[in-house]
Amino acid sequence: MAERVLLVDDDTRLTAMLSEYLAAAGFLVESRPTGQGGLAALERGGWDAVVLDLMLPDLEGFEVCRRIRGQSDIPILMLTARGEEVDRVVGFELGADDYVVKPFSPRELVLRVQAILRREGQETGECRIVYDPLVIDLEAHTVRLKGKEVGLTSTEFKLLQRLARRPGRAFSRDQLLSEVWGYGGDLETRTVDTHVKRLRAKLGEIGAWIETVRGLGYRFRPAGFEFPE
């Protein structure tokens, strides 16, 4: 079954063009010109990803993103003419999975949508990763801490999964961009830092298990883990 993408943008020319490119790539696409219209469409369910403009005539895209994240972990790609770093950081902190600045290539946007959906749907041969009291269920796509579910976005889940599979291994930011986001140097490494910060906060005390490796990136070191001699 074709994956469904919702475009939330009031630029009718742009949405028409993006709809054409996404449809050519095999997606089913619908568009809404307002934030409220987008939220109403999402409430009906059945969507696989959202392309969300920051500047909307009713609600700002940041607010729409916040409301979506309050009830869903659907992949969100933010689309905007505002490219300042602070805007990108705020978008990621609110739970966006990717961020594209206008002007851009429609083919690039299609590739980015494909990348976040590929991260969402990747399968593994393992069922669970367990480091008491943390349980990462790869089939159910859930994380539990002391028996309580931790609400993670699809990107946060993939990031934690990648780190936790290789405890003690140091991953560079570029490696994580490639392995978690699906592409490399065209995305700022600050993206990784922002997601790690948010992931640590959601994990509470055990967020400290994600250690910073100065000058390189991050590693996962659960309590009691000893580096091999």
Q: What is the DSSP string of 52-104?
A: EES--SSS-HHHHHHHHHTT----EEEEES---HHHHHHHHHTT-SEEEESS-
Closest to 191 measured CA to CA, from 202, 176, 210: 176
Q: Is 134 among the domain residues?
A: yes
d(CA 183, CA 189): 11
Statement: the pTM of the whole predicted model exceeds 0.85: no
Q: Is 48 among the domain residues?
A: yes
For the chain, 229 residues long, give each residue's pLDDT as a single digit of tens: 679 999 999 999 999 999 999 999 999 999 999 999 999 999 888 899 999 999 999 999 999 998 998 888 788 999 887 666 677 777 777 888 888 888 889 998 998 898 888 766 554 445 788 898 999 998 888 999 999 999 998 889 999 999 998 888 888 888 888 888 776 554 556 789 999 999 999 999 999 999 999 988 999 999 877 765 4
Give residue for tokens 């995305």.
187
d(CA 172, CA 178): 10
Give residue for tokens 């028996």.
147
Domain carrying residue 14: 4-121
Q: Is 225 among the domain residues?
A: no
SS3 9: coil
Last-in-domain residue among 121, 140, 165: 121
